[in-house]
Structures are given as structure tokens and as C-alpha cells.
A and B are shown apart, each in its own frame.
Chain A
Amino acid sequence: MNLNHPAAASYFGLSGYYITWMILMAGLSVFCFIIFKRFKLIRIGKPDPRYTDIGQRVSGLIKDGFLQRRQPRYRMAGILHIIIFWGFIVLGLHSTDLLISGLWPGYAFPFMGGLFGSVYNSVKDLFVLIVLAASMVAIYRRAVIKPHRYQDSHQFEAYLVLCLIIFLMITDMFYEGSRLILEHSTGGFLVAAQLSKITLSGASHDALESVNRFSYWLHILTFFFFLNLLPLSKHFHIITALPNVFFKKINRGALKPPRWGIKDIDQLDAVGIQTYRDFTWKQILDFFTCTECGRCTDNCPANAVDKPLSPKTISMKLRDFGYQNSPLFSNGNIENALILGEVIQDEELWACTTCGACEEECPVFIEYIDKIVDLRRWRVLMESKFPREIEQAYRKMEIYGDIWGMGAALRNDWAKGLNLKTVQADADIDVLYWVGCAGAFDSRSQQVSVSFVKLLQKAGVNFGILGKEENCCGDYARRTGNEYLFEILAKKNIETFHKYDIKKIVATCPHGYNTLKNEYSRLGGKFEVIHATEYIFQLLDENKLSLNKELNKAITYHDPCYLGRHNGIYEIPRKIISLIPGAKMVEPEKNKDKSFCCGAGGGHFWMESSGQRINELRTDQILEKKPEIITTACPYCLIMLEDGIASKEMKGQVLVKDIVEIVSEMI
């Protein structure tokens, strides 16, 4: 016996089909209206070309969007989320089917009848139970376990949405269960429906019919309520996450130019972000998409040492601010509403080390560094308001060509007696060694430069250095927001590279490496750039170098942010260590893409800090595994970790070395 569809009945003299139509129309128009408003907010953003590399984007969408690759980085929460995500996809179809069946008498999805239909129905019914359970566990986690990272998130919204999901599942169960009883159907594999059948058994026919109708309408109403709640809450990510993943940043190492589509900064009158209008559309989409999961903040080194920076809070504040200033029912004044100093404070801006941990962790690929640097740009370039130490550094870079303020005349002193070729004397070289300011002027890093030179000489490489014509690469200027100075420095270097017809550059400093490789091309630089570790590995591979001596020590490796997260070089340094006879590799708990910043990036090497220091925290993390030698591949990490060891008064017990040094000692 077939049951009448709930919509086939009439309510207060009105046909159920009309009611479905009314709910549909009302629900959809409100939804479209809100989305339109949100879309308008995105439209005030500046352009950002994110339509290239479609293949990579599609595969990212599949892996990071549909397969939720980043979710299990937090195991429990990740699994729950994957379940709920897939539940949504499966059950969304079901809810739509239910809705459509109430629009016309006898209408149903055509493919729901056959084999697909019955398989689908069993699967979706299973999902009803799984999602129900997952949501309850999620509530339990929030309410009882209270993970620290949810602090300050919109908790009410989270509970509301979880309850709505549970409600949708329950109405579905009762709708299906009552239907099965009324139809005298066994129901097969519909587990959830079977379960509700048990609770409903013994009820009268009329009561069952009411349950059936009631749960149908409640389901549909909740469905629309839920749909409209999305763009009003942090659950907008249900709609925006997949697009956001699709439009993710492809070249992580390069900072965003001051404006997309310009060749040089002089084309602009204003640089940076001051009001909402200065964001790009993608940056605004980021705000909509933040799920408030707090994974970013949980991994932020500045936050870990109690600096007033929490990336999650930045997204939340900017989203809430955006919504407040573009209200649904009036026009608002979002375009001119000030952000700097109002929504985002200077202390937040300057605390970021641009380590990229937040971006690496975010399951929906929200970007922070570009935004933070854009805000710094406004402060530095438009208002000249920034920490004092930075100003000293800017002046030194511009006048002397290096932050140390030593000048070109001293730049070559480290190389005295090494018998090095400079390009001025002989430009016929296969590869140019980019020494970098630290490598040239800092006494500790000079040792690394010397080691690298010895190693290249041993391998018989025909290389040279720029000598006095090498200039600061501009990483510091760029990441602290001084794009103008960066362009001056970069253009000077590019000119020098082209003057000597340099084709290939190898750098020991990951900051120089990243800047030359990823940021000079926009300004016309045409050359290949590789990092010293890559080059050493290649030389080892070609048997031009071999590691002969033994090193029976426990060695650990600290991933520099600009080599690892920003450029994806994780394995090569580890492979080099594994080639050292006798070396025993121990990994700190936070390694590879989870590595914890040494505290020097984003200009912090040159800034005063108070309170707990990031480098000391990182040193503690590394020392947990009791290494005898800590290796890294960055001059700044080297100094920071050495300082960390010194502050633990463990100097001499634990050595801090650049991989380059280790290799040069082992050959």
C-alpha cells in the first residue's frame, strides 16, 4: 500500500503542494538576497587573478576540498569533519529529493527508482546515523573537552548548527520510519528508519500519519532555516570553502604584489590596506570562509609566546566588521571604514614572523601573510608609522646596501684568502654563489659561507660571487611592508645579474633564495635559483662529492620556514643527513610542514622582543629529542637556535650547525 505524500494533504484548506512552493520561494528568495549582499561585499575588493593553473586547482579541489586532505592533521576533529562533510553531500541530495517530491503530485527524482535509488537510500540512511553520532561527539568535544583552539570562536553558532544537523537527521528518521510502518514495508537496509520504526511501533495509524507529516514539514523548514543561516554565520564556509580551496594561492613563496596587474609600484598612488576597499576579492572571500576552527592560531609561534596575534581572530574580526558595515537592510559605509588601528591593531601586525604555519594548517586555505604585509605596507609607505628598529634597518639597506650597515667596501672581507672568483674579474662561470648579507657580514654565518666555498671548490665547480656588487636582496624590506625600498634593491640586483649574464644562482640563505627565485621574476629577473642543499645533493648524486667520514651522533634538523613551507624543500636536507655515515636522525615533534618558526622571519631578527622568545621555545621543542647536533639550513635559524642553546646554558653540549658545514666537514 502506498502512503499519500504529506504534501498531498491539505492544511487549513490549503494544498500541501502550495505550501511547499511557498516555503521554497520564501527560503530561496531570502537566501538569494543574503548571498547577493555578500557578493556585493566581495565585489568591492580589488582584482586578483586566480584563474591560471586550472589543472593544479582542480586537483587541489579534489584532494583538499572533496577528500579533505588537511582535516586529519587534527585526528579526532578531522575525522568528525570528514564524516559530516560527506554526510552533507549524501544527505543534501536526499533533502532536495524530499523537497522536490512535495512540489508536484507523484514527482520524484527519476533515478531514485532503480538500483541506484535503493543503494543510495541504504547509504544515506547509514549516513543519517553516522552524522547523528558525529554531531553528538562534536557537541561533547566542544562542551566537555573544550579544545583550547575554540576559545573566542562563536560558540553559540557552532552549537546551533550542530543541533540543526541533529534535528535534520531526527526528522528524517521519523519521516522514513513512519512511512515504512504506514506502507507496511520491511524497509530493507534502511538502518536509521528501522531504528525509528522501533520507537514508533504500536502507535495508531492517525498518530503515525501526523508524525509522518510533521517530520516532513519540520525537515523542509529546518532545511531552509539552515540554508539561510549559512551566509549569516561562520558556517558560510559550507558554501564558500570549496571555491576558496579552488582559488588558493599557488606560488606560496612570493608575496602578493602591491596591486595585481601593475609592473612597478610607481603606477600606484596608494599602497597597502587601510580600508575594506583595499582588500582583494579573494581576501574578502577568505573572511567569509573562516570556520573559526583555530588551527591557525594553535600553530602560530607569535601566539604561542603570548604576543597579541591570533590569525583566527584577525579573520573573525574582519568578517564581523565587514558584515556590520554592510548590513543586510541598508547600505552601510564599508568602503571607507577604517581597519588599521580600529579593527586590527599595530601590535598584531608587527608580531607576525611570516612563518606560514597558519596557512599550512588552515583546512580551507585562508591566507594571512599577504594581508598582514598589505596592512604593514600602508603603515610604512603611506603613514611612515612603524617600529623604530625597522626604520634604522631601512636606512641602512638603502644607504649601505645591507642591514648591517657595513657597506660594499667590507662585503668581501669574509672571502679573503679563499681565492674566489668575482664576476668583475671573470664572468665566465657556471653558477653564481649568492652569499647574502648574513653570509657576508655575520661572523657565525661567514663560517657557513666559507664552508660552502670550500665544498664547491672541492667538487670542482666553476663558480663566482658578485662581490662588492651584491646588494641586500630586499626580503626584509618586502616582508616588513616597504615595497618601495624592495623594488629599489631588487632592480639593482637584477640589473647586476643581467649585466654579468648570470643564468644560475645558488644561495645558502633561504630568504635570499626565496626572494630571488619567487619574487624577482615579476620585476624582470630571468635566472634559475637553487638552494645550497639542493645543489649539494646534486653534487653528491653526481659523485662530485662524497661523504667519507663518520659522524656517530644524534642529529636533528630544523626546517627553516622559507625553505620548507614556502618552498616545499623538506626531503633533500634529510636525505643529505641520511647519507652521512653513522648519523642518527632524530626528528623534533614539530617537523617538516609543521615546523615551528625560529622567530627571526618577517623582519623579526631585527626587532626587539619582550616576554618569552620564540627561539627559546623552539629550542626546548628540539631538545626534547636529545640531539647532539642541531642542523638547519638558514643563517637566521642558525643564530636564533644558537642563542636558544646559549640561553639554556648548554653551549658546547649541543652543537648548532648549518647542513653546509656538516657536509664540508664530512668530505
Chain B
Amino acid sequence: MDYGGVMNVIVCVKQVAHIYIQSGFDPSTKDIVTDGLVYRVNPYDETAVEEAIRIKEKSGKGEVTVITIGPPRAEETLRWCLAMGADNAVHIVKDGAEKQDPWMTASILADRIKEMEYDLLLFGKKAIDDEMGQVGIFVAELLGLPAVSAVAKLELTDVNKALIQRSLEKGNREEVDCPIPAVFTVEKTLNRPRYPTFPARKAARTKPIQQLRVTRMDESLSDPQMNIVRLAPPKLRPKKILSPDSNLSAAARINFVMTGGMGQKKGGVVGGDPKQLVTGIIDFLKEKKVIGT
């Protein structure tokens, strides 16, 4: 598909702490305990980066820029995005001690973004650590842009318009038209992020990352709009790894473990021409001993 013009996409990403549920809540910082945490790119943001790269690859023009706000370790997240294929990375370095609510984060981001050139702003629908899902929408507000949340399908129909499917509850979808530039926050179902190749990862390690600093004195840092009273860790799902049903195969057993103790429905999809479809289904039924061989 030809988008007719250059598509510059900015993606805002967050480094999240995973399985924070294990490390507990620290009353003094009113935050999760950081000791022994595991960090990763927020999976929703990873989907946004993937989408941006696909848009660039299709149009053949334009650049993908990723921005993050976070402590020095957040650089790893940017490197991962660069390895995926982002062209530029901006790291707004923030000291860990300074607590920041979504509105503050959005105002820092908006302050930087308004000085950049872009056609599209992508965010993940939410971060899997605090699950707030507000920053993207606030940025749109601050920049005066239209915003669409929970984007499950994105099609750029011409130079300045996007056709979008939003996911609603119970699997329903809503189709909307949106002029661009705009802010979209994306669902994980939008695409399957690539696993970066070795040369890309190697190259990403030495790509330049633009570093900026925020301090409390920074004008752009507006006052918090939210006051956290208490963070409560969710109930631990698989407390001990349950012994999976012994009748499961090793693969199913692993699925079981990986999904945290819930057996996943196993299924397959048969494809091909009608003849292959029929043999596929018959083979399946035979394998499951529904019909005799």
C-alpha cells in the first residue's frame, strides 16, 4: 500500500517491572519493592513499535522514533526497540526517587514531542505494571490531537486518514475513521512483534540515543493530578506450580505451567484446499480417537 507521503511515527514506550507481584509493596515509597525485579519492554508498547515499523516498511519512507522516560536502566528498552528496527531513540532520564503520575509523564512527553516532526503517535493501550492506560490520551489532550484507544486494526487509507477497528468488550469491534496526525493507543492483538535478528541487535547496541534530563525544576513538569494512597499487590496466581494433570502431554504440561496453572484449550487450524481440509479434519478425529482408523 502506498501512503503517498512520508510517515514519521513516534512511539512512546515504557520499561516495566514484571512479576512485581513477587516482591511486595514498600510503604515508605508507596511503590513496589524494586529488589530482584525483572524488567522488560511493556508488551503493548512493543506492539506499537512493531506497528510503526510495519508502517514505515510499507511506505518505504519516514522514520520511527521511540521515546521513553525512565531511569538509566530504561536504555535497555530503547535498545530493544532499536533492534526491532526503530531509527531514533530519545531517553528522558529521570531519577528513580521522583514519583510521577500519568499527567506529569504526559506533560513531559508532550513538551518534547511538540518540537518534533511526526505524522502519527503510537502508545501501548496500557502498561502491564500499573495498568493505568492514561498517558497516551493525556498527550493527545496536551497536543490537541485526536485520539483513539484500544486499536486492534489500523489501516492508513490515504495521506491523512486512518481506518481503525477498536476492540470493545466481549470481542465486539468498533470501526472508526480518524484524521492524522493523531494519537493511537494499541491492543496487543494488533500484531505479533518481531524477534530481532542478531545483526540488528548488535547494531542497536552502538546506535546513538539522545539523552535528555528532567528535574523538578523543569517547567514542563506540571503538578501531579493523582495521589497514590496505597498499592496492593494482586493475589499471587500460581503460588506453587501445580502438578499438571498427568494425562497431559509434555507440551500441554508446559502450556499449563506457562499460563500459570490454567490449562489452555488446545486447538489447531487446518488449511488448504477442500481436499486437504477434509483430510485434516479426519486426521484430527482419528488422532483424538473420535473415529476409528
Interface residues of A (CB under 8 A from B): 265-266, 269-271, 381-384, 391-392, 394-396, 399-401, 404-410, 413, 441-444, 468, 483-484, 599-600, 605-611, 613, 615, 639-640, 642-643, 646-647, 651
Leading 6 A-B pairs by shortest Cβ distance: A381-B198, A409-B22, A443-B243, A646-B246, A399-B40, A407-B19
Q: A508 CA to B79 CA in the complex, in Å? A: 36
Q: A663 CA to B247 CA in the complex, in Å? A: 27
Residue in contact with A410 in the complex, picked from B22, B197, B249, CB distance below 8 Å:
B22
CB <8 Å contact, A400 and B18: yes
CB <8 Å contact, A384 and B195: yes
CB <8 Å contact, B246 and A271: no
Residue in contact with B242 in the complex, picked from A406, A443, A647, CB distance below 8 Å:
A443
Cβ–Cβ < 8 Å partners of A651 in chain B: 246
Q: A635 CA to B251 CA in the complex, in Å? A: 15
Q: A408 CA to B37 CA in the complex, in Å? A: 8
Cβ–Cβ < 8 Å partners of B241 in chain A: 404, 406, 441-443
Cβ–Cβ < 8 Å partners of B268 in chain A: 610
Q: How far is the CB of A269 from chain B (nearest CB, A)?
A: 6
CB <8 Å contact, B249 and A613: yes
Cβ–Cβ < 8 Å partners of A610 in chain B: 268, 287
CB <8 Å contact, A643 and B253: yes
CB <8 Å contact, A643 and B249: yes
B side interface size, CB within 8 A:
33
Cβ–Cβ < 8 Å partners of A270 in chain B: 199
Given known contacts A382-B199, A484-B198, is B250 in contact with A600 (CB within 8 Å)? yes
Q: How many residue pairs bridge A and B at CB < 8 Å?
A: 90
Instruction: List B residues 225-255 near A (Cβ within 8 Å).
Output: 240-244, 246-251, 253-254
CB <8 Å contact, A409 and B250: no
Chain A residue at minimum C-beta to C-beta distance from B268: A610
Given known contacts A407-B38, A468-B36, A643-B253, is B194 in contact with A384 (CB within 8 Å)? yes
Instruction: List B residues 45-76 near A (Cβ within 8 Å).
Output: none
Cβ–Cβ < 8 Å partners of A392 in chain B: 258
B29 interfacial contact with A, CB 8 Å: no
Q: A455 CA to B191 CA in the complex, in Å? A: 50
B157 interfacial contact with A, CB 8 Å: no
Cβ–Cβ < 8 Å partners of A395 in chain B: 195
Residue in contact with A608 in the complex, picked from B194, B199, B243, B251, CB distance below 8 Å:
B251
CB <8 Å contact, A484 and B246: no
In the assembled complex, 15 residue pairs joining A and B whose CB atoms fall closer than 8 Å, in A order, are A381-B198, A384-B197, A392-B258, A396-B258, A399-B18, A400-B19, A404-B257, A404-B258, A408-B36, A483-B198, A599-B250, A609-B251, A613-B249, A615-B250, A647-B247
Cβ–Cβ < 8 Å partners of B247 in chain A: 646-647
In the complex, given contacts A381-B197, A444-B243, what are 14 additional A-B residue pairs having Cβ atoms less than 8 angstroms apart?
A: A269-B199, A270-B199, A382-B197, A394-B195, A404-B241, A409-B36, A442-B257, A443-B240, A443-B243, A611-B287, A639-B253, A643-B246, A643-B248, A643-B253
Cβ–Cβ < 8 Å partners of B197 in chain A: 381-384
Cβ–Cβ < 8 Å partners of A396 in chain B: 258
B202 interfacial contact with A, CB 8 Å: yes
Q: A394 CA to B251 CA in the complex, in Å? A: 16
CB <8 Å contact, B258 and A405: yes
Cβ–Cβ < 8 Å partners of A609 in chain B: 251
Q: How far is the CB of A210 from chain B (nearest CB, A)?
A: 66
B196 interfacial contact with A, CB 8 Å: yes
Residue in contact with B251 in the complex, picked from A383, A405, A441, A607, CB distance below 8 Å:
A607
Q: A615 CA to B252 CA in the complex, in Å? A: 14
CB <8 Å contact, A408 and B257: no
Q: A585 CA to B254 CA in the complex, in Å? A: 32
CB <8 Å contact, A408 and B202: no
Q: How far is the CB of A340 from chain B (nearest CB, A)?
A: 14
Instruction: List B residues 241-293 near A (Cβ within 8 Å).
Output: 241-244, 246-251, 253-254, 257-258, 268, 287
CB-defined interface of B206-236 with A at 8 Å, one 1/0 digit per residue?
0000000000000000000000000000000
| Residue among B195, B240, B250 with most chain A CB within 10 A | B250
Cβ–Cβ < 8 Å partners of A271 in chain B: 198
B189 interfacial contact with A, CB 8 Å: no
